[in-house]
């Protein structure tokens, strides 16, 4: 398969931050000869559930990915918010090597130290009292729904309904899909799991819907990722927390994409001054290895009995050992301060980009998580950015999503803005 010519970014001479109102240097100044190549980009063996870009990656360094022809791409996708430490990180590599010298798997029929130590670390730096490990974000949310219903039934036999919010994305399994506000994803698989509904982000509507006798939980993303990178209103979140607490309803924060430092605080809900009863995590927690987690209070945890839920691989010694290293890095106050400071600067530069180009309707986000509403389709911008050496992704038809690694420097953020300006 022949791939269109791509502009290759040099590893050197990243442009400095554009001055206010000034047009940044075009990316051609940092480009070398374009190239085309043939690569095995289609496979009869892989199920076609993804529309993959016409590029095959073979390596990476820092905030760059490298394809099979040696082209370098500045990565503002981070494996969909997974590769928070970028590529080739020395500490992560060492942690992987250490873990590979120890036990890889035993199942959860037995105790191993790495999972217990990681759980203790998560508890020590959160609201939670207990942790359940699984293998993905969708599994974490599915498990949280089960825990909410198990707890709810100890309060009242009818207490089982779960409510999600407009714009939320919680996964593609049957229960999580029922709480996900993406009609195109839902329609082919109806009927979905019953007892799960999606409501508007409106406190008056929710006040009517939140029946203390029947509703056991509300799930929300403090910053909606797939739903357009929408930061929920702090007043709304605080009112919802008060309402759920008053009516004895569990509040679940889905921080699978927005948690673990991406907003500039370790937990996204710190930005809102509230705490949940459960929180789900995944994406960056194990540095690219598959892991999800549910953090929960003792009140809910004490209702979960052996046999109520399970996992063969969750929290295994190899993955948990690596995750312990990653969590230590992502919870480092110095890294979080850098994400906060550079993220605020990044947001200002994106707003100035919108003003200069006239091609962006709105800029939303915080930290290293931003959405740009594009005049035209976001997918077209993703394709053009790829051809210019920048990886981006969409969050709906019109929203361009930017998720740089949390180790990206201000110069690297500026380079991405320069490429976007040329594309736009």
What secondary structure does DSSP assign to 247-294, as a single string? TT-EEEEE-TTTTTTTTSSSSGGGGGT---SEEEE-GGGGBTB--EEE
pLDDT digits (tens, 9 = 90+) for 354-368: 999 999 999 999 999
Q: Is the model's pLDDT at 21 over the cut of 90?
A: no
Q: What is the mean pLDDT of residues 122-126?
A: 98
Q: Where are the domains of the chain?
A: 6-42+53-82+333-423, 91-330
Band (pLDDT 50/70/90 cuts) for residue 11 is very low
- Please state, as a whole number, how many other Cβ atoms lie within 10 Å of the Cβ of residue 65: 23
**pLDDT value at residue 194:** 97
- Please state, as a whole number, how many other Cβ atoms lie within 10 Å of the Cβ of residue 416: 26
CATH number corresponding to 91-330: 3.40.640.10
pLDDT digits (tens, 9 = 90+) for 79-93: 999 999 999 999 999
Selection from 259, 273, 255 nearest residue 219 by Cα: 255
pLDDT digits (tens, 9 = 90+) for 264-281: 999 999 999 999 999 999
Q: Is the model's pLDDT at 3 over the cut of 70?
A: no
Does the global pTM surpass 0.75? yes
Distance CA 28, CA 21 (A): 20
**pLDDT value at residue 267:** 98
Share of the chain above pLDDT 90, in %: 88
pLDDT digits (tens, 9 = 90+) for 166-215: 999 999 999 999 999 999 999 999 999 999 999 999 999 999 999 999 99
Band (pLDDT 50/70/90 cuts) for residue 41 is low
Q: Is the model's pLDDT at 17 over the cut of 90?
A: no
Select the CATH number that applies to the domain covering 6-42+53-82+333-423 from these four: 3.30.565.10, 3.40.50.720, 3.90.1150.10, 3.30.465.10. Answer: 3.90.1150.10
Distance CA 424, CA 417 (A): 10
Q: What is the mean pLDDT of the chain?
A: 91
Give the DSSP H/E element, type plus range, for residue 36: none
**pLDDT value at residue 44:** 77
**CA–CA distances in Å: residue 243 to residues 28, 162, 255:** 54, 15, 21
Residue 72, beta-bridge partner list: 66
Distance CA 347, CA 416 (A): 13
Selection from 322, 218, 223, 324 nearest residue 265 by Cα: 223
Distance CA 293, CA 296 (A): 10
**CA–CA distances in Å: residue 227 to residues 182, 369, 396:** 8, 13, 7
Is 386 in a helix, a strand, or coil?
A: helix
Q: Is 33 exposed, middle or buried (CB count within 10 Å of its CB: 0-12, 13-18, 19+)?
A: exposed
**pLDDT value at residue 132:** 98
Q: Is 418 exposed, middle or buried (CB count within 10 Å of its CB: 0-12, 13-18, 19+)?
A: buried
Edge-to-edge strand ranges of the sheet holding 360-366 = 360-366, 369-374, 399-402, 393-394
Q: Is the model's pLDDT at 25 over the cut of 80?
A: no
pLDDT digits (tens, 9 = 90+) for 91-111: 999 999 999 999 999 999 999
Give the DSSP H/E element, type plus range, for residue 241: helix 234-246
Distance CA 249, CA 211 (A): 9
pLDDT digits (tens, 9 = 90+) for 355-407: 999 999 999 999 999 999 999 999 999 999 999 999 999 999 999 999 999 99
Band (pLDDT 50/70/90 cuts) for residue 24 is very low
Selection from 353, 350, 382, 413 nearest residue 80 by Cα: 382
The 3-state DSSP composition of the chain as helix, strand, coil percent (nearest 5) reads 35, 20, 40
Question: Any residues with CB less than 8 A from the CB of 274 and at least 6 apart, and which?
Answer: 237, 238, 241
Q: What is the dihedral of CA 61, 62, 67, 69, to 10 degrees?
A: -60
Contact 330, 121 (CB under 8 A): no
pLDDT digits (tens, 9 = 90+) for 291-339: 999 999 999 999 999 999 999 999 999 999 999 999 999 999 999 999 9
Q: Is the model's pLDDT at 8 over the cut of 60?
A: no
Q: Is the model's pLDDT at 22 over the cut of 90?
A: no
Q: What is the mean pLDDT of residues 140-163?
A: 98
């Amino acid at each position: 398969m022949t791939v269109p010519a791509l502009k290759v970014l040099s590893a050197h001479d990243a442009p400095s931050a554009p001055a206010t109102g000034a047009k940044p240097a075009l990316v051609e100044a940092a480009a070398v000869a374009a190239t085309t190549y043939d690569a095995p980009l289609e496979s009869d063996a892989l199920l076609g559930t993804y529309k993959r870009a016409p590029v095959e990656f073979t390596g990476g360094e820092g905030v760059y990915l490298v394809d099979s022809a040696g082209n370098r791409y500045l990565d503002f996708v981070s494996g969909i918010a997974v590769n928070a430490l970028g590529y080739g990180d020395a500490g992560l590599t060492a942690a992987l090597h250490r873990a590979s010298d120890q036990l890889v798997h035993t199942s959860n029929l037995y105790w191993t130290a790495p999972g217990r130590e990681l759980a203790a670390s998560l508890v020590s730096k959160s609201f939670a009292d207990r942790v359940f490990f699984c293998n993905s974000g969708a599994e974490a949310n599915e498990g949280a729904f089960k825990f909410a219903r198990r707890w709810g039934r100890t309060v009242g036999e009818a207490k089982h309904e779960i409510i999600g919010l407009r714009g939320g994305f919680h996964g593609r399994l049957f229960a999580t899909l029922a709480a996900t506000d993406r009609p195109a994803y839902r329609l082919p698989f109806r009927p979905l799991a019953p007892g799960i509904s999606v409501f508007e982000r409106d406190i008056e509507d929710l006040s009517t819907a939140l029946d203390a006798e029947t509703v056991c939980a509300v799930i929300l993303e403090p910053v909606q990722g797939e739903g357009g990178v929408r930061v929920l209103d702090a007043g709304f979140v605080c009112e919802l927390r008060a309402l759920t607490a008053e009516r004895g309803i569990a509040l679940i924060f889905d921080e699978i994409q927005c948690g673990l430092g991406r907003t500039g605080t370790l937990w996204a809900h710190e930005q809102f001054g509230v705490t949940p009863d459960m929180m789900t995590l995944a994406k960056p927690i194990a540095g690219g290895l598959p892991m999800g987690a549910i953090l929960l209070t003792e009140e809910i945890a004490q209702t979960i009995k052996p046999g109520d839920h399970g996992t063969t691989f969750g929290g295994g010694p190899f993955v948990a050992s690596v995750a312990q290293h990653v969590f230590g890095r992502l919870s480092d106050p110095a890294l979080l301060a850098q994400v906060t400071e550079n993220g605020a600067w990044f947001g200002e530069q994106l707003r100035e980009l919108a003003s200069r180009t006239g091609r962006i309707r709105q800029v939303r986000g915080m930290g290293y998580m931003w959405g740009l509403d594009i005049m035209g389709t976001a997918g077209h911008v993703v394709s053009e950015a790829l051809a210019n050496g920048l990886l981006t992704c969409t969050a709906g038809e019109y929203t361009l999503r930017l998720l740089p690694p949390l180790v990206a420097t201000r110069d690297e953020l500026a380079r991405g803005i320069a490429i976007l300006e040329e594309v736009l």
